[in-house]
Amino acid sequence: MFRLLLALFLATPCFAQFLWNGAHLKQVRESLQAKDSPYAEAFRGLESTAKSMLQGKDVSVMDKKHVPASGNKHDYASLSRYFWPDSSKPDGLPYISRDGVSNPELKEYDREALDKMSRRVQTLTLTWFLGGDTAFAAAALKQIRVWFINDSTRMNPNMNFAQMIPGRNHGKGYPFGVLDGYSFVQMMDALALLESYEGYKPADRAAMKKWFSEYVQWLATSEQGLEESRAKNNHGTTYDTQLLAYSLYTGDRNTAERLIAHFAERHILKQVEKDGRQPEELKRTLAFHYSWYNLSHMLDFYTIARNNGLDIRKATEIQGRSFYKAFDFLAGYIGKDSRQWPYKQISGWDNAQKELTRDLYRVYLLDTNKVKYRNIYYSNRNKAGYGMFNLLYVRATDL
């Protein structure tokens, strides 16, 4: 039965791609037929996680503890991550900033649920695609319907109350709340892949296209979206990357081409120095993390564009400033102690190192002339971890 399903899968055309690579995933799937597949261990881990998800509950915006200022639980709401109650005030209001320190009240809103939804859809879909068990595809589709489609549980396509600060702005969200929506980018490949699952109906596809069309409209016209689009740090990068992904998903290639044409001027010129430093990110108490974070979203932008046949050559360098120089600057600290980093990084050094190491390999996949990045990854791959990353990106010869 497995071989029959596999034969059917192999006959299917390559799915629309965003961050994942369809040809690579088909090679991984074929490799898993062999007993000595280099991906076997990673797939067993993925499948184990997916099986536990089958026993779990679908998540929805209706699950949150607090109702947003609109009075409608269908509206997404999240707490601004680094804001805490003011201990000098009886009611703690308005909340005050503690940059780099996350408030545990976050779990009472929708941010963690959104991330969980995205991870569920990705994990379940990938397990189905690589292993052939449609129970995982059915579960992924059910979660999508709960979050986006079903009238009783769906999220309204806006972020009007994302990253609100209690006691401020009348309960409305802030422009940086747009960052929360990046979880959607991370699940776009799974959503596209599910279109080849027989249970994914034309009505599902139409509903999802409509939802993201409305969300793009919100990004392009809302006060939060417009202000975030003008940000000169990682916020602006993240905005453009989201708009690129959703525009391509909804078939708006003109917007995608416009974003690519202006990317270097908007982000490389304004954010990266000639030596690769990113001044806006280096101001933060998590300077290494945010320097990586911004580059990771640039990398996502280029990957999405390249996977859709769009030319990115003019988007990576301008006036002696370069995306690759920015990676060179950070790569020089791989394997070093946080005390050797000349800026602030109050926590999370090891995790930021891991994420940067993984992204260096992804840069190599984007431009195979950057062999030095592959070599850095290869020398530090134990630090980078395995699992789902290997399945999605790492070539068998590099395992």
List the pLDDT tens digit at each of the 399 positions of the chain. Answer: 444 344 434 444 457 899 999 999 999 999 999 989 999 999 999 999 999 999 999 999 999 999 999 999 999 999 999 999 999 999 999 999 999 999 999 999 999 999 999 999 999 999 999 999 999 999 999 999 999 999 999 999 999 999 999 999 999 999 999 999 999 999 999 999 999 999 999 999 999 999 999 999 999 999 999 999 999 999 999 999 999 999 999 999 999 999 999 999 999 999 999 999 999 999 999 999 999 999 999 999 999 999 999 999 999 999 999 999 999 999 999 999 999 999 999 999 999 999 999 999 999 999 999 999 999 999 998 876 678 999 999 999 888
The per-residue pLDDT for 53 is: 98
Cβ neighbors of 334 (< 8 A, separation 6 or more) are: 353, 356, 357, 360, 376, 380
Domains 1-229 and 231-399 share a fold: yes
Spatial contact of 187 and 194, defined as CB atoms under 8 Å apart: no
Question: Which residue in 219, 230, 227, 221 sits closest to 184, CA to CA?
Answer: 219
**What are the b/e assignments for 320-339, b being 16+ CB within 10 Å?**
ebbbbbbbebbbebbeeebe
Which tokens in the block code for residue 120? 């569920």
CATH of the domain spanning 1-229, picked from 1.10.3720.10, 3.40.50.1820, 1.20.1290.10, 1.50.10.100 = 1.50.10.100
Q: Record the pTM.
A: 0.94
Please tell me the distance from the alpha carbon of residue 67 to that of residue 163, in angstroms, as a whole number: 14
- Any residues with CB less than 8 A from the CB of 398 and at least 6 apart, and which? 361, 374, 377, 378
Spans of all domains in the chain: 1-229, 231-399
Q: What is the chain's Cα-based Rg?
A: 21
- Helices (H) and strands (E) counted in the chain, each on its own, are 18, 6
Give the type of residue at 137.
A
Pairing of strands 321-322, 317-318: antiparallel
**Please, which residues bridge with residue 169 across strands?**
none
CA distances from 195 to 4, 16, 28, 177, 254 (A): 20, 9, 20, 29, 24
- The backbone torsions φ and ψ at residue 78, rounded to the nearest 5 degrees and listed phi first, read -145, 160
Please tell me what DSSP assigns to residue 309: T
Give the model's pLDDT for residue 13: 43
Rounded Cα–Cα distance for residues 246 and 259 (Å): 12
What's the pLDDT at 355? 95
- The Cα-based distances of 75 to 67, 137, 162 in angstroms read 9, 27, 9
CATH architecture under which domain 231-399 falls = Alpha/alpha barrel (1.50)
